């Protein structure tokens, strides 16, 4: 077990997430634009609030996911590094007569994540304010502290000028988590990432990330499909966390069976040193997606359990 892995699980670790995309949206029509483009309730957000949302195509498939942070005069969109150009171009394509302007601020704003069971204590020791609600944020001098997590362990992003990043890292005095540590812990926690477990292949309900969706808001791109699936209950597969009593890590795409028939497909998997077993995230046929269901992978039994 590495120091970063142990810290994420037991205490707190820091991660440099400056490579994540940060797109600023300004203009009088900014809320209306984002409301019509995403799955969540944007127009009701007040400064200091935020939410998680999906961008969909007309067929209801997931183009991207995003954290939307609401400020007094703008929104800030936080996304996976590889989604930055995709989201920018997608939004820009739909700005026609709207009073809305996009600005890619990724290079101008650094970002440090502090996550783990003691993340809040670490921030308080620094004298930083602690936002309480998921997606909410508060100002800390020239910085912003947002309650966001990339590992599912709970934690915060500190958005700050690039020139201040090293001073904050030095003051944290906690281990740094590597990309491998981050991936291990987030899969252990059943926390999906766009580009690995969530892609354009999937529909909203299949991901089980319903915190990204407001089912009572007005029209948005892909809403007809989302509502059709909801009203008819036609969810054929669901993203679930699997536990396997084996040290062998199966590759993505491998199938699992129930009574000899394919019942699930692995999206990602890691060996968990803390649990001494392999943990996977997999899309499981709805008929077999209840906790406690047993599946077989090349003769190895697995237990389906709901994401943490």
Q: What pLDDT shows up at residue 307?
A: 46
What is the reported pLDDT for 158? 98
**CATH architecture for residues 3-187:** 2-Layer Sandwich (3.30)
Give the per-residue pLDDT at 234.
82
pLDDT digits (tens, 9 = 90+) for 277-297: 999 999 999 999 998 888 988
Structure tokens at 246: 């084996």
211: its two tokens: 């915190």
**Rounded CA Rg of the chain:** 20
pLDDT of residue 306: 56
Please tell me the predicted confidence (pLDDT) of residue 300: 78
Q: Residue-wise over 236-249: b if at least 16 C-beta within 10 A, else e?
A: ebbbbbbbbebeee
Can 3-187 and 236-308 be said to share one CATH topology? no
Give the residue extent of every domain in the chain: 3-187, 236-308
Beta bridge partner(s), residue 278: 244, 271
Residues of the chain with pLDDT under 70: 305-308
Distance CA(92)–CA(261), nearest Å, equals: 45
**236-308 belongs to CATH 2.40.30.110:** yes
- Residue 166 main-chain phi, psi, to 5 deg: -65, -40
pLDDT at residue 271, rounded to an integer: 96
Taking the CB of residue 139, how many other CB atoms lie within 10 A of it? 12
Residue count (the chain): 308
Closest CA to 55 of 40, 73, 74, 70: 40
């Amino acid at each position: 077990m590495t120091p970063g892995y142990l810290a994420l699980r037991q205490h707190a670790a820091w991660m440099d997430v400056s490579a994540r995309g940060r797109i600023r949206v300004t203009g009088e029509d900014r809320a209306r634009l984002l409301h019509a483009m995403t799955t969540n309730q944007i127009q009701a957000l007040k400064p200091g609030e935020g939410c998680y949302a999906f961008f969909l195509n007309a067929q209801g498939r997931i183009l991207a996911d995003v954290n939307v942070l609401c400020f007094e005069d703008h929104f800030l969109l936080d996304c996976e590094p590889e989604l930055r150009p995709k989201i920018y171009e997608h939004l820009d394509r739909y700005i026609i007569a709207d009073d809305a302007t996009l600005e890619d601020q990724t290079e101008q704003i650094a970002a440090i994540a502090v996550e783990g069971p003691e993340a809040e204590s670490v921030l308080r020791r620094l004298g930083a304010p602690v936002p309480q609600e998921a997606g909410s944020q508060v100002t800390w001098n020239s910085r912003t502290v947002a309650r966001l997590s990339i590992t599912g362990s709970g934690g915060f992003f500190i958005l700050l000028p690039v020139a201040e990043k090293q001073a904050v890292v030095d003051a944290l005095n906690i281990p740094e988590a590597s990309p491998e540590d981050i991936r291990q812990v987030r899969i252990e926690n059943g926390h999906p990432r766009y580009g690995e477990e969530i892609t354009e292949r999937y529909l909203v309900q299949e991901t089980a990330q319903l915190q990204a969706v407001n089912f009572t808001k007005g029209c948005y791109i892909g809403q007809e499909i989302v509502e059709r699936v909801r009203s008819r209950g036609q969810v054929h597969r669901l993203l679930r966390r699997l536990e396997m009593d084996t040290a062998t890590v199966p590759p993505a795409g491998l199938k699992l069976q129930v009574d000899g028939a394919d019942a699930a497909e692995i999206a990602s998997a890691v060996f968990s040193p803390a649990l001494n077993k392999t943990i996977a995230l997999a899309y499981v046929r709805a008929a077999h997606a209840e906790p406690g269901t047993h599946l077989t992978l090349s003769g190895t039994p697995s237990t389906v359990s709901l994401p943490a």
